[in-house]
Amino acid sequence: MPSTEVAGIKVWQRRTAGRQYAIWFGWLVGTALFLYCWKFVSDATTWFFVWDAPRIAGDIGGRMVPPRWAYMEKLWIPLWDTLNIATLGTALAIFMAVPVAFLAARNTTPSATLIRPIALLIIVSSRSINSLIWALLLVSIIGPGVLAGTIAIGLRSIGFMAKLLYEAIEEIDAKQVEAISATGASRWQVMAYGIVPQIMPAFAGITVFRWDINIRESTVLGLVGAGGIGLQLQASLNVLAWPQVTVILIVILATVVFSEWVSAKVRHAII
Amino acid sequence: MSDASLNIRDLARRWRPPPLIASPRLRWALGLGAALYFAAAIGTLEVNWLRIYEGLDRGWAFVIAFTEPDFVSRWTDIREGLIESLVMTVTSTVIGIVISVPIGLGAARNIAPLPVYLLCRGIIAVSRSLQEIIIAIFFVAIFGFGPLAGVLTLSFATIGFLSKLLAEDIEDIDKGQAEAVRATGARWLQFMNYGIQPQVMPRLIGLSLYRLDINFRESAVVGLVGAGGIGATLNTAFDRYEFDTAAAIIITIIGIVMIAEYASGLIRARVQ
């Protein structure tokens, strides 16, 4: 146990001297890095605007109330679009994520040296790019609209779903698979009767979980022109119609809470 | 006659895997509901086929661009954007951690009194239910364009994520150790430092590294609304249809995320 001698008496210490110095050095480097980064941010900031911020915030807050509830009637169709973007996007992602997951799982991949890294690369790429960036890309390729949003949500969800699914596949009980292959089942039969029933609950849970996240993400896709209620938000912000912005934000919050509630209920029913 | 009855019996005795949803009525209702919904959803999906046909060339150009990304011609912009993104990531993660530790302590029911608990849970709920991009729009409107708005946005988002998971971890700690420290007559700060902190530290480090990774990815997005970072450069590249530059930026983001994930995996394995 590390200890130091103070006036001839051994005093308990949590760490050895060397380790303590290493930790102090780590803190020093970390603090220096943070201060350097803060200076960078500070230099790029117009501090005059920041000192003025409370007044501006109060001003915007004042303009946002009362909400213009009459605007609600123009939001039903965008809301329906938002729901469709999330749901169809999730459905699209399922079709692409399932094969990728089977190719990425160690126990089902046809080739661990060649195909598994490709599948993992697809997963990482899809996960590293935010759905807004996918939407930006698709809007510039196929034009603004709901379709671009749907495909963006689909592409973004592949990585998340495939990652969780392939981890579930790797955790299955190998005995059941062996039992099925011992009956002389073909590769596909082993998959259908040995693997799929074991991952079905996880698969349903992952799908609902991702659908919930997708609802949340699809509410803002309109900011880059990919359809849904975000389009209305962008339009209202552009004309500084703050009472409308309030209504839209309340609707977005309500949608997010609703989808979280649905997803929690469904996952509770499955598990 | 006998042949036919034999066949029917064979068919009846054939094994079928049990369905996922046991009740047949619910199964059919869900299936029918889903079919109707998808028909309605796809029916209202407005697709401009002509625009897509015209866009296919651009889509193909983008795919090609990934095979020959152009890092060179806009290198200064890419480098500045990336440095700004990385700086924002570090700053916002540190600020976020510093703020979220006290809030996390306050949101743990086993060590915080009820009023503090409710206040901290409220802050967490607000932070978690608003998307980064919406917060960024407001912060840009309030604090002006530039990385400060982005840093504040990401810090705010970090609070909701980190405080919630930290609070849940504190609620799950081993009570025996905490009580043993308290029984020695430790003051509140000593109790925190020796009873709680060692138990949650590995997870806090893991979560912070994970959040660092998320903040980098999000820093690419807040730039779209003018809150600094690589997002502004990316947006400009798309607007000008400079797909080779856009591809270079996306490849760089993916590369940095991969390195970050690998490094944080190594550190987490060491800490835990």
pLDDT digits over B99-150, tens only? 999 999 999 988 888 999 999 999 998 888 888 899 999 999 888 888 999 9
Are the Cβ atoms of A223 and B235 closer than 8 angstroms? no
The stretch B43-59 carries a mean pLDDT of 81
Query: Cβ atoms within 10 A of the Cβ of B91, count?
Result: 28
Q: What is the CATH number of the domain that holds A121?
A: 1.10.3720.10
Which residues are A3's β-sheet partners? A12
Domain co-membership, A239 together with A264: yes
Question: Is B57 a member of any domain?
Answer: no
Are A232 and A119 members of one domain?
yes
Identify which has the larger pLDDT, A94 or B271: A94
- Whether cis (ω within 30° of 0) applies to the bond prior to A197 is no
Considering the domain architecture, whether residues A115 and A213 belong to the same structural domain is answered as: yes
Percent with pLDDT over 90 in chain A: 36
At A9 the three-state DSSP class reads strand
Q: Are B148 and B83 in contact (CB under 8 A)?
A: no
The last residue of one of the domains, among A63, A86, A111, is A63
Residue A153 · residue A221 · CB < 8 Å: yes
Domain hosting A22: range is 3-63
Residues A47, A87 within the same domain: no
Total structural domains in chain B? 1
pTM of structure: 0.83
Size of interface A-B (CB pairs under 8 A): 143
Q: Is residue A68 part of a domain?
A: no
Task: Note whether A97 and A165 are within 8 A (CB).
Answer: yes
A69 in a structural domain? no
In a domain, B161, yes or no: yes
Q: How far apart are CA A154 and CA A88, in angstroms?
A: 8
Per the CB < 8 A criterion, the answer to whether A97 and A157 are in contact is yes
Q: A130 and A254: one domain?
A: yes
Report the mean per-residue pLDDT for chain A: 88
Which pLDDT value is given to residue B8?
60
pLDDT of B9 strictly over 70: no
pLDDT digits 0-9 by tens, A165-199 = 999 998 898 899 999 999 998 888 888 888 888 89
Distance, in angstroms, between A93 CA and closest chain B CA?
15
Does residue B78 register a pLDDT over 80? Answer: yes
A150 contacts B45? CB cut-off 8 A? yes
Residues A51 and A156 grouped into a single domain: no
In total, how many domains does chain A have?
A: 2
pLDDT of residue B1 exceeding 50, the answer is no
Instruction: Spell out the residues 6+ positions from residue B105 whose beta carbon is closer than 8 angstroms to its own.
Output: B111, B112, B166, B167, B170, B192, B196
Are residues A37 and A118 located together in one domain of the fold? no
Q: Which residues of B touch A200 (CB under 8 A)?
A: 20
Whether A99 and A146 share a structural domain: yes
Backbone φ and ψ for B110, nearest 5 degrees, come out as -80, -15
Residue B10 lies in a domain: no
B79 in any annotated domain: yes
CATH of residue B210's domain is 1.10.3720.10
When CB atoms are compared, the residue of B137, B142, B220 closest to A133 is B220
Domain encompassing residue B151: 72-271
pLDDT: which is higher, B89 or B18: B89
What's the whole-number average pLDDT of chain B? 86
Hey, what amino acid is at B201?
M
- The sign of the CA dihedral B97, A55, A222, B87 is negative
- Nearest-5° Cα angle at A193, A192 to A194: 105
Q: Is residue B227 assigned to a domain?
A: yes
Rounded to whole angstroms, the Cα distance separating B87 from B154 reads 12
Prediction ipTM score = 0.82
Residues in chain A: 271
| pLDDT for residue B7 | 62
Query: Which residues in A55-85 are b (16+ Cβ under 10 Å) and which e?
Result: eeeeeeeeebeebeeebeeebeebbbbbbbb
- Helix (H/G/I), strand (E/B), else coil: A91: helix
A 41-100 residues with CB < 8 A to B? 41-42, 44-46, 49-50, 53, 56-57, 60, 80-81, 83-84, 87-88, 91
Min distance B142 CA to chain A CA atoms (Å): 5
Measured distance CA(A100)–CA(A117) in Å, rounded: 11
pLDDT of B2: 47
Q: Which amino acid is at A240?
A: L
Q: How far apart are CA A67 and CA A77, in angstroms?
A: 19
pLDDT of residue B12: 61
Hey, of A29, A36, A80, A128, which one would you mutate to test binding to chain B, going by the most B CBs within 10 A of its CB? A128
Q: Which of A235, A210, A261 is nearest to A78 (CA)?
A: A235
